[in-house]
Amino acid sequence: MQAKKILIIGNGFLGKRCAAAWPEAVLSDKIIHSAQDVEELIDEHKPDSVLNAAGIVGKPNVDWCETHQLETIAGNTTLPIMIAEACQKKGVYLLHMGTGCIFYGYSADPKGWKEDDHPNPLAVYTRSKYAADLVLSTMPNIGIARIRMPVDYEPSPANLIDKLMSFPRVIDVINSITVVEDMINVFKQLLEKQAAGIFHVTNPGAIKHKEIVAMYEEIVDPNHKVEEWISAQELVASGLAKKTRSNTILQSGNLEKLGIQMRPVHEAVRETLKKYAELRKV
């Protein structure tokens, strides 16, 4: 089924990136307080599908959520439920943005965590996100797209490239990540198929922060230097973060079942860094 008209809720980093790529989409900046607010948006725009790109990720970073529990739960748990309620009532497909950071550590399966594995979220942000997954996954006509550590050619404080290059001390870890261009592509296909269920929208394979930094120094800035590589445990112990971060690898069997592909992670990051370097020249 073709996604004729997409309504995007959430006028932030990733909502804007999707809207820029999809001419048929409407990007709403309306702040949602109730399911009724969403029903009114649906009545106004008459979309075939809704993308929920709204949420509370914490500013300047996710540690903010540790002391703003109610705001975090309102944005990441209550809001998706209100959007889902309105979409169910109006018979409109919903693609909700989740996070793969609900998994902490690595699966015994070397390919990574599957969509129906049980996550172990530790932080307020990840617990509030997983709470929405638990509720929304009980309903039909809803897709949940879990992404991780977005990597983009456009600079942004939320872009993993900009984050890693801004830190003098960087953790030496390996992760599944999501290249934003590929994510936009996958979301489009999920919206067109109106695919229900949970999807791990991460590029196949896993990549070390050290590999991303080395590629950056090769492609973008040979003068960049990391002062010190530290362990994931040192991040919290040294006071650089309040709460342990998720480092993990996911597999994407449910996307594979639909024949939806993403570029292998090393290829996609390299291509993204080339575009990132081109943009810096302008």
Ligand X SMILES: NC(=O)c1ccc[n+]([C@@H]2O[C@H](COP(=O)([O-])OP(=O)(O)OC[C@H]3O[C@@H](n4cnc5c(N)ncnc54)[C@H](OP(=O)(O)O)[C@@H]3O)[C@@H](O)[C@H]2O)c1
Half-sphere exposure of 158 (CA within 13 A, CB side): 17
Cβ 102 to ligand X shortest distance, Å: 10
**140: cis peptide before it, omega within 30°?**
no
For 123-139, the DSSP string reads SHHHHHHHHHHHHHTTS
Which DSSP helix (H) or strand (E) runs through 151? strand 150-151
CB-nearer residue toward ligand X: 79 or 249: 79
Q: Is 203 within 8 Å of 178 (Cβ atoms)?
A: yes
Binding site for ligand X (CB under 6 A): 9-15, 31-32, 53-57, 75, 79, 97, 99, 129, 147, 150, 158
Identify each DSSP E strand in 2-117 by its residue range.
6-9, 25-28, 49-52, 93-99
The H helix count followed by the E strand count for the chain is: 12, 12
Cβ 138 to ligand X shortest distance, Å: 19
CB-nearer residue toward ligand X: 17 or 263: 17
Token digits for 43?
Answer: 């009545």
173 phi, psi to nearest 5 deg? -140, 165
Residues with Cβ within 8 Å of residue 212, at least 6 apart in sequence: 151, 160, 161, 164, 269
Cβ 97 to ligand X shortest distance, Å: 4
Cβ 123 to ligand X shortest distance, Å: 12
Cβ 162 to ligand X shortest distance, Å: 11
CB-nearer residue toward ligand X: 62 or 213: 62
DSSP secondary structure code for residue 113 in this structure: B
Other CB atoms within a 10 A radius of the CB of residue 267 amount to 14
Cβ 281 to ligand X shortest distance, Å: 26
CB-nearer residue toward ligand X: 55 or 119: 55
CB-nearer residue toward ligand X: 60 or 168: 60
d(CA 87, CA 93): 7
CB-nearer residue toward ligand X: 14 or 173: 14
- Closest chain position to ligand X (CB): 12
Cβ 205 to ligand X shortest distance, Å: 18
196 phi, psi to nearest 5 deg? -95, 150
CB-nearer residue toward ligand X: 11 or 137: 11
Cβ 53 to ligand X shortest distance, Å: 5
CB-nearer residue toward ligand X: 110 or 207: 207
